[in-house]
Amino acid sequence: MRTPVVFDLIAGARPNFMKIAPIIDALTRIGAAGSTPGLQRDPGGLRYRLIHTGQHYDRKMSGEFFEQLGIPEPEINLEVGSGTQAEQTAAIMTRYEKVLMNQRSDLCLVVGDVTSTMACAIVAKKMGVRVAHVEGGIRSGDLSMPEEINRMVTDSITDFFFTTSETANHNLRRSGVAEDRIFFVGNTMIDTLMKQMPRLRPPPFWEHRGLKPGQYFVLTLHRPANVDEITQLKAMLDAVIEGTRGLPVVFPVHPRTRKQLDSSSITGNHSSLFCVDPLGYLEFNFLVQQAKAVITDSGGITEESTVMHVPCLTLRDNTERPETITLGTNELIGTHPARLKPALDTLFAGNWKKGSIPPLWDGRAAERIVQHLRTIFFKAET
Ligand code: UD1
Closest ligand 1 atom to 150 CA: 8
Q: What is each CA distance from 329 to 94, 320, 326, 356, in whole angstroms?
A: 41, 15, 8, 8
- Mean pLDDT, range 341-367, rounded to an integer: 97
pTM: 0.94
> Does 39 have pLDDT greater than 60?
no
Query: Domain-by-domain residue ranges, the chain?
Result: 5-187+361-381, 200-348
Residue from 95, 98, 145, 89 nearest 118 by CA: 89
Among residues 17, 75, 51, 67, which one has the least CA distance to residue 192? 17
Q: CB count, 10 Å around CB of 184?
A: 17
Q: What's the mean pLDDT in 83-89?
A: 97
Stretch 310-332: mean pLDDT, rounded?
98
State in Å: Cα 305 to ligand 1 middle.
Answer: 22
Q: Work out the pLDDT band at 264, boundaries 50, 70, 90.
A: confident
Comparing 306 with 6, the larger pLDDT belongs to 306
Q: Which of 49-63, 155-169, 236-250, 267-281 has the lowest mean pLDDT?
A: 267-281
pLDDT at position 380 is 56
| CA of residue 243 relative to chain centroid, distance | 28
359 lines ligand 1 (CB under 6 A): no
* Rounded average pLDDT over 145-153: 97
Cα→Cα distances 9→111, 122, 124, Å:
8, 14, 12
155 in contact with ligand 1, CB cutoff 6 A = no
Predicted pLDDT at 1: 57
CA 293 to chain centre: 19
Over residues 195-217, the pLDDT tens digits come to 999 999 999 999 999 999 999 99
pLDDT of residue 34: 37
Average of per-residue pLDDT values in the chain: 93
Interatomic CA distance for residues 326 and 288, integer angstroms: 20
3-state secondary structure of 17: helix
Distance CA 8, CA 133 (A): 12
pLDDT, one tens digit per residue, over 271-305 is: 899 999 999 999 999 999 999 999 999 999 999 99
The mean-pLDDT minimum among 40-54, 69-83, 100-114 falls in 40-54
Query: Is-contact 331 322, C-beta < 8 A?
Result: no
Determine whether the shortest distance from the Cβ of 225 to ligand 1 is under 6 A. Answer: no
Going from the Cα of 214 to the center of ligand 1, the distance in angstroms, rounded, reads 30
Position 29 scores a pLDDT of 82
Residue nearest to ligand 1 atom 18, measured at CA:
58
* CA distance from start to end of the chain: 13
3 state DSSP class of 158: coil
% of the chain with per-residue pLDDT over 70:
94
CA 232/CA 246 separation, integer angstroms: 21
Q: State which of 57, 82, 87, 281 you would mutate to test the pocket of ligand 1, scoring each by most atoms of that ligand within 8 A of its C-beta.
A: 82
Q: Compare 282 and 29 and report the one with higher pLDDT.
A: 282
Domain 200-348 matching CATH 3.40.50.2000: the answer reads yes
Q: Which CATH architecture has domain 5-187+361-381?
A: 3-Layer(aba) Sandwich (3.40)
- pLDDT above 70 (res 247): yes
Which of 10, 52, 55, 85 should be mutated for ligand 1, with most atoms under 8 A from CB?
A: 55
Is the pLDDT score of 35 beyond 50?
no
> Which is nearest to 319 in space by CA: 303, 305, 304?
303
The whole-number pLDDT of residue 43 equals 43
Mean pLDDT lowest for which of 17-21, 148-152, 172-176, 378-382?
378-382
